[in-house]
Amino acid sequence: MRSGWSTALVIAQLTLVRLFRGRAVWVSVVIAALPIVFASAVRAQGQHSNMQVDVLVFQTLLLAVLPAMFVASSIGEDIEDRTTTYLWSRPVPRWSVLAGKLVALAPLSAALVVGSWIASVFAGTHAMPSGLSILALATGAIAVCLVSAGIASLVPKHGMPLTIAYMLFFDIPVGVMPVSLAELSVTHQLRALAQVVPEIRDAPSGGAIGLAVLGTIWLGIALWRIRRLEA
Amino acid sequence: MTRTAPSAGGVVVAENCSKWYGHVLGVSDVSWRLRGGIVGLLGPNGAGKSTLIKMMAGLLRPSRGSLAVFGKSPFDDVGVRRRIGYAPEHDKTWDELTALELVTFMARLAGVDDAKAQAAAKDAIAQMGMTDAMHRRVRGFSKGMRQRTKLATAIAHDPDFLLFDEPLTGVDPVARVDIVERIRKLAAAGKTVVVSSHVLYEIEALTSEIVVIYRGQLLAEGNVYEIRRLIDRHPHRIRIECDRPRTVAESLAKSDHVARIVFERAGVLIETRDPDRCYDELATAVVEHGVHVSSLSSPDNNLGAVFEYLTGERR
């Protein structure tokens, strides 16, 4: 019998084969290109002040959409369409199904977000963004993937729209509040780690820890739910 | 494929096993032991067949009681699922994949080495007569091809115990004969096979050993002929819609096999203990008296009516 991680890699492969035969990847590439268009347009108009901050706002919106498109829809559809019956009737630990999807989709989400960030900052300023901001966007994307996994395993039928709604109407608004509630926001922690927004005084390490804690909580919710789900 | 001896307690042992979905009953207090061979799980839609099969496949956990496959809980014990092959009732699968890719992935997930998985998948696909279509995407498959592909995913890792949930539903008559033959071959090769259906003649074509399930309860278990005998003990109903129902009734009233005659708005309903004789006498009466028959039907052709009889038998 395969080990759990070996199984996760097979599921990751299966997930990627399916993904690249669908339209989601191409749609997401188009969405990821929007901040680049925005930055280029702003630069063309000669407005250069706080370019990185403006682009980062755009990137947080991207974070609300891309991981949900990949992770929440993949997990939600499998549960809702009952294709999980093929997986769960095999000698496959439940956690490895989740791990396989995350191993396939989280790096892809992170790569798209980071690629979009680098390209849009370069398009707007003709300079490369800081390494810390790249790290922040990558870990932020992975954290939102874990949020997506948690929400999709709780509400498979509406996993993608609910994740987007959660990010747009809870995480992003709470993240800009000047109170400690902002610590619950992935996008706030991302900004703290990125050190791009001058108004945020938190240390980068605090942002990194915050992202790790929030990601772990959502991963725990997803694992707990997947373990209990019946097909 | 190798012949495998069932474990000492039986392949499946269910003890007072019940399953609820919230307030809805799926399976109620089922105690059952499956020792091997090929067994048909017969019951109307919603009877609890799929619930029982899903519990055996490790997809559902019993709400009460226990169910063990090869002595272990299939829901909790990942390892025992290596010995189980399950083909679900639904048609949903990963349509972006070709049949070969799908079956290969399923074989790998079931524990077959990566190097051998494709060969195992090709073999399973060949056993299901799908070799010509194995490089086509599942999206374009007909119902019968999907059924065969599902069965191939279930057998690719050479499991000892096969669970086929309604494998003949929606399949055309020619494909049905072929699939039946292939399932019989699997059983002949030593696999324990459970096949569910809501159609008696489908099950009869596969096996003589059946389990009848209705409203979540096991009503009867044993040889299909015993079940038929049980069914035959109950009067068979024949409804005749004709222009002279009283004449028909008078002709049959003296026969000892007729249990009851009920006049209805457009005809007459006859309950008989010997359907063959009754049909013969009915034909004679119609011809002799020149009765014009507009409709002749048997409400008992509906399997649900038979199950209602069996439920009554247990009360």
Q: Are B239 and B299 in contact (CB under 8 A)?
A: yes
Residues of B in contact with A83 (CB under 8 A): 92-94
Query: Are B96 and A18 in contact (CB < 8 Å)?
Result: yes
- Nearest residue of chain A to residue B102 (CA atoms): A14
Looking at CA atoms only, how far is residue A10 from chain B in angstroms? Answer: 7
Q: Does A88 touch chain B (CB under 8 A)?
A: yes
Per-residue confidence at B23, pLDDT binned at 50, 70, 90? confident
Chain B residues 60-79 with a CB less than 8 Å from chain A = 60-61, 78-79
- The shortest CB-CB distance from B109 to any of A18, A90, A230 is to A90
**Predicted pLDDT at B6:** 43
Q: Which residues, including other chains, have CB under 8 Å from residue B126's CB and lie 6 or more apart?
A: none
Q: Are B80 and B12 in contact (CB under 8 A)?
A: no
Chain B residues 136-175 with a CB less than 8 Å from chain A = 153
**Predicted pLDDT at B254:** 85
CB burial of A33-66 (b: ≥16 within 10 Å; e: otherwise) equals: eebbebbeebeeeeeeeebbebbbbbbbbbbbbb
Q: Does B104 touch chain A (CB under 8 A)?
A: no
- Tokens found for residue B26: 């799926």
Residues of A in contact with B57 (CB under 8 A): 85, 89
- Nearest residue of chain A to residue B96 (CA atoms): A18
Q: How large is the ipTM?
A: 0.89
- The shortest CB-CB distance from A10 to any of B54, B92, B108 is to B108
How many other C-beta atoms are found inside a 10 Å radius of the C-beta of residue B44? Answer: 18
pTM of the model: 0.81
Give me the DSSP letters along B221-236: EEEHHHHHHHHHTSPE
Phi, psi dihedrals of residue B70, rounded to the nearest 5°: 50, 40
Query: Are A91 and B86 in contact (CB < 8 Å)?
Result: no
Per-residue confidence at B136, pLDDT binned at 50, 70, 90? very high
**Predicted pLDDT at B101:** 97
Tell me the per-residue pLDDT of A11-24, one tens digit each, with 9 for 90 and over: 999 999 999 998 99
Q: How far apart are CA A146 and CA A102, in angstroms?
A: 8
Greater model confidence, B100 or B240: B100
Q: Does B93 touch chain A (CB under 8 A)?
A: yes
Greater model confidence, B272 or A115: A115
Fold of B231-312: Alpha-Beta Plaits (3.30.70)
Domain ranges of chain B: 12-226, 231-312
Q: What percent of chain B has pLDDT over 70?
A: 88
Per-residue confidence at B219, pLDDT binned at 50, 70, 90? confident
Q: What is the DSSP letter of B165?
A: S
Q: Is the dihedral of CA A210, A212, A215, A219 positive or negative?
A: negative
Residues of A in contact with B88 (CB under 8 A): 82, 85-86, 89
**Predicted pLDDT at B224:** 74
Residues of A in contact with B108 (CB under 8 A): 2, 10
Calculate the dihedral angle through the C-alpha atoms of A162, A165, A166, A171, rounding to the nearest 10 degrees.
160
Looking at CA atoms only, how far is residue B96 from chain A in angstroms? Answer: 6
Q: Collapsing DSSP states into helix, strand and coil, what is residue B87?
A: strand
Fold of B12-226: Rossmann fold (3.40.50)
Q: Does A227 touch chain B (CB under 8 A)?
A: no
Q: Does A82 touch chain B (CB under 8 A)?
A: yes
B86 pLDDT more than 50: yes
- B-interface mutation test, from A89, A96, A227, most B Cβ less than 10 A away: A89
**Predicted pLDDT at B4:** 40
Query: Are A85 and B90 in contact (CB < 8 Å)?
Result: yes
Per-residue confidence at B277, pLDDT binned at 50, 70, 90? confident
**Predicted pLDDT at B299:** 65
Query: Are B153 and A86 in contact (CB < 8 Å)?
Result: yes
**Predicted pLDDT at A134:** 95
* Phi-psi region at B111: left, alpha or beta (left = phi > 0; alpha = psi -120 to 50): left
Beta strands in chain B (DSSP E): 12-21, 24-34, 38-42, 64-69, 84-87, 161-164, 192-197, 209-214, 217-223, 236-242, 258-264, 267-272, 293-297
| Identity of the amino acid at A58 | F
